[in-house]
Structure formats: C-alpha cells, structure tokens
Amino acid sequence: MTDQASRPTSGPQPDGTWGVLLMAYGSPSRPEEIAAYYTHIRGGRPPSTELLEELRERYAAIGGRSPLPEITERQAAALERRLNAGGGSWRVYVGMRHWQPWIADAVRRMADDGIRRAVGLALAPHDSRMSAGAYVESARQALDALEPERRPAVRFVRSWATHPLLADALARRLQAVLEQAGGEPVALFTAHSLPERILSWDDPYPREVEATCRAVVQRVGLETGRWRIAYQSQGRTAEPWLGPTLESALQECAQSGARHVVVCPVGFVADHLEVLYDIDIEARALADRLGLRLERTPSLNDAPDFIEVLADVVTSAASGRGQGAGEEAPTR
Ligand SMILES: CC1=C(CCC(=O)O)c2cc3nc(cc4[nH]c(cc5[nH]c(cc1n2)c(C)c5CCC(=O)O)c(CCC(=O)O)c4C)C(CCC(=O)O)=C3C
Ligand SMILES: [Fe+2]
C-alpha cells in the first residue's frame, strides 16, 4: 500500500496538532483480495461463486482493479497540504471501512502519534445509518478500544450534503458538460442505492441526496423536467432497494423523448467501480440500446475546488462552527 508513505511526516506530532480521521470505503489492491473484501462488505457472509465471479469480471472490465485506494490517498495528501497552508498543524489519517488500512488502524496511528483532538469524516457527503453512521460506528469502536489516556477527542461530521462549496463544485462540472453538449440534455443525478428498509427508521439519506441535487439544480438553473434523481448500483440481495434505478430512469428518459442524458453521480466523490463500471460501462450500454447519448460529469477526486470543500468542512468542525444538524458534539 502507498498508504501514508507519500506524506513525509509520520511519528510523534507537535503538541496541538489536529488529526483528521478521513474515512473511505476501501477497495482491494489485488485480484486475490476480492473474495475477502466482498465477504467483509457482506458482514462476514462469503458470496456465492457466481456473485464472486461477477464482481471479478466487473473489476477486470475497469482494468483489473479500482483506482479508489490511490485517489483516496491523493485526497488525503492534498487535504493535509491545504490545511497546513491555512495555519496550524494538521495531520490526515486514512482509514477504510471495508479494507486496509482499516479505520481502526488509522485510529491507533493517531493515538501512537500523540494526537489529542481530531475531526472525523467519511468521504461520502450524505448521512445515513448505513453510510456515514456506519463509518462513525467503526471509529467509535476503535476509540473505545484505546486506553482512555491515549484516546483523542474526535468531532465527527455526519453530513456535508448541503455544503455550498460542494454544490458549487458539482454545478461547475455539470454546467461545463451541459454547455459542451448543446441541445437539451436531461441531468440524471445519482447516488448509491440502499435497502428500502432504511425508510422504516426515517433515515435522512433520501432527503440529503435530494437537498444536494436541488442546490445544484438551482445553481445551474435547470427547469423542472430537465433533471431527475435515480439510485444506482442496487445490491445483489433479495430485499427491495431504493429506486428509481438508473436503468428505469434511462428508460423513462428515452420514453419521454429525450435524446441525451448527463449523469451526475452526486453520491460519490471519486472514480471507482460504481462510477467506472456501473455508469460508464453498464448504463452506457443500456443508453446505446435505447438510442440515448450518455455523458457523465467528471468525478471530484483530488481537484482543488473539492479539496477546498473538505478543508472547510474540517476547519468548521474543528472551530465548532460545523454544519449544525450533521455534526455531533465531541463525546470524549
Ligand atoms: C451507501 C453506499 C455507498 C456510497 C457511500 C460511500 O462511499 O460510503 C457505497 C459505495 C461503494 N461501494 C463499493 C463497492 C461495493 N459495494 C457493494 C455492496 C453494497 N454497498 C452498499 C452501500 C454503499 N456502497 C450496500 C448497502 C451494499 C450491499 C451489502 C450486502 O451485500 O449486504 C459491493 C458488493 C457487490 C454489489 O452489491 O455490488 C461492492 C463491490 C465501492 C468501492 C468500489 C471500488 O472498489 O472501486 C464504493 C465506493
Ligand atoms: Fe457499496
């Protein structure tokens, strides 16, 4: 793993250094690791041979592995540079939810480096018990496992869905693709689907996704009918998942006479399997069959305007300004 190697400072940090616990989904770096990764995503239940083979094929189709681990590390390095340029002393620790380096590894490294206070956030803007909530839960368990005197105080940011700089960054990309396109393409906003049972506990996820989309629509000035929201990448499980699916949204666009769609995946902040396969290969193939031209907005990755979003989320939380609703008070 490149891990922290690309950043020079590791080991004991100066007194007063803030940590950032930057949590991401994680992805295997070698094909041999796909089975163990998939088993972890499924909560310890190994996938069937068919499911595993299908996942292997999806990774093979995007070049053998996902670029996600490198992009996450580049995001972390850029964020650390940006924070330190803004004053104070900051150190960013990457922890993954489903692969190495685990969130628990990052928490232990923070403690080993003598970090006393930190901001924790996931590289996923929308709060949900099954997304941001699950990341925070992993971090809390790792914090609880530390000796109390080594345990940093962590302020967790649960949501940054309505951060104005995020809407600006997404709108900038969508506007650019729309301008190039000409004609009247339909903007199709997507986020990862979740099991429909999240609605039974009034999970904030669909509201948060909608709030991000509306903020972007307002900035770009799209009229009603020129945009839709779809939930993509439904899981391979028996239970019902949130829709409309990306497939059904494409079908409806074609039926209503659209010739051209621009997919804007607001639920993801990097190029990875769900973007490079589910949109660029799978959805594009369906669009072709439907006679629709499909384009996608570029991912945020480590673009400077996105690093500004992360830096503002982090410094706001550190100074106690936060985004209000989404942020939890320090508990330790
Ligand atoms: C909310 C959410 C996000 C967005 C927020 C966030 O980013 O946190 C996200 C992102 C991602 N999901 C990813 C990968 C996968 N997710 C899967 C399956 C699942 N995801 C779920 C949820 C989410 N996932 C759920 C509830 C399942 C079903 C589990 C079960 O079966 O019980 C599966 C299994 C096969 C399949 O179902 O497709 C894979 C391979 C990758 C990395 C890809 C790469 O390697 O580049 C990324 C960024
Ligand atoms: Fe996933």
Indicate whether 266 pLDDT > 70: yes
**Annotated binding residue at 108?**
no
Indicate if 130 and 51 belong to the same structural domain. yes
- Answer yes or no: is the C-beta of 24 below 6 A from any ligand 1 atom: no
Please tell me what DSSP assigns to residue 28: -
Once rounded to an integer, what is the mean pLDDT over residues 244-259? Answer: 97
Q: What percent of the chain has pLDDT over 90?
A: 89
**Please, which pLDDT band fits residue 328 given cuts at 50, 70 and 90?**
very low
The answer for 294, left when phi > 0, alpha when psi is -120 to 50, beta otherwise, is beta
**Annotated binding residue at 296?**
no
- Answer yes or no: is the C-beta of 42 below 6 A from any ligand 1 atom: yes
| Rounded-to-integer distance, Cα 213 and Cα 220, Å | 11
Indicate if 168 and 133 belong to the same structural domain. no
Q: What total of structural domains would you count in the chain?
A: 2
pLDDT tens profile 138-177 = 999 999 999 999 999 999 999 999 999 999 999 999 999 9
CA angle centred on 307, ends 139 and 132, rounded to 5°: 30
Q: Which residues pair with 303 in a beta bridge?
A: none
- Answer yes or no: is the C-beta of 27 below 6 A from any ligand 1 atom: yes
Q: Compute, in angstroms, the gap from residue 44 CA to the centroid of ligand 1.
A: 14
| Rounded-to-integer distance, Cα 112 and Cα 98, Å | 22
Indicate if 120 and 225 belong to the same structural domain. no
Indicate if 13 and 86 belong to the same structural domain. yes
Indicate if 250 and 179 belong to the same structural domain. yes
Indicate if 52 and 153 belong to the same structural domain. yes
Please tell me the predicted confidence (pLDDT) of residue 193.
Answer: 98
**Annotated binding residue at 25?**
yes
* Pocket probe mutation, ligand 1, options 42, 233, 241, max atoms within 8 Å of Cβ: 233
CA angle centred on 122, ends 6 and 194, rounded to 5°: 130
Q: Which residue has the higher pLDDT, 202 or 236?
A: 202
Indicate whether 245 pLDDT > 80: yes
Which amino acid residue places its CA nearest to atom 31 of ligand 1? Answer: 42
Ligand 1 atom having least distance to the Cα of 126: 5
Residue 191: enclosing H or E segment and its boundaries? Answer: strand 186-192
Ligand 1 atom having least distance to the Cα of 66: 46
Residue 92: enclosing H or E segment and its boundaries? Answer: strand 90-96
**Please, which pLDDT band fits residue 9 given cuts at 50, 70 and 90?**
low
Q: How many CB atoms lie within 10 A of CB 218?
A: 11
pLDDT tens profile 64-77 = 999 999 999 999 99
- Answer yes or no: is the C-beta of 124 below 6 A from any ligand 1 atom: yes
Nearest bound ligand to CA 27?
1
Pairing of strands 90-96, 153-157: unpaired
Q: Compute, in angstroms, the gap from residue 309 CA to the centroid of ligand 1.
A: 23
Indicate if 22 and 148 belong to the same structural domain. yes
Strand boundaries in the chain, DSSP class E: 18-24, 90-96, 117-122, 153-157, 186-192, 227-232, 260-264, 293-296
- Answer yes or no: is the C-beta of 40 below 6 A from any ligand 1 atom: no
Task: Give pTM, 2 decimals.
Answer: 0.94
Indicate if 261 and 318 belong to the same structural domain. no
Ligand 1 atom having least distance to the Cα of 276: 46
Q: Compute, in angstroms, the gap from residue 259 CA to the centroid of ligand 2.
A: 30
| Rounded-to-integer distance, Cα 310 and Cα 315, Å | 9
Please tell me the predicted confidence (pLDDT) of residue 183.
Answer: 77
Mean model confidence pLDDT for the chain: 94
Indicate whether 80 pLDDT > 80: yes
Q: Which residue has the higher pLDDT, 87 or 329?
A: 87
Indicate if 211 and 291 belong to the same structural domain. yes
What is the ipTM for the molecules in this complex? 0.95
Q: Which two tokens stand for residue 236?
A: 């391979």
Q: What is the CATH number of the domain that holds 224?
A: 3.40.50.1400
Indicate if 145 and 31 belong to the same structural domain. yes
- Answer yes or no: is the C-beta of 129 below 6 A from any ligand 1 atom: no
CA angle centred on 30, ends 22 and 92, rounded to 5°: 15
Ligand 1 atom having least distance to the Cα of 122: 8
Indicate if 95 and 68 belong to the same structural domain. yes
Indicate if 315 and 235 belong to the same structural domain. no
Bond before 101 cis per omega within 30 degrees: yes
Q: What length does the chain have?
A: 332
Once rounded to an integer, what is the mean pLDDT over residues 179-201? Answer: 94
Q: Look up the domain containing 122 and give its range.
A: 4-160+303-328
Which amino acid residue places its CA nearest to atom 23 of ligand 1? Answer: 192
Please tell me the predicted confidence (pLDDT) of residue 87.
Answer: 83
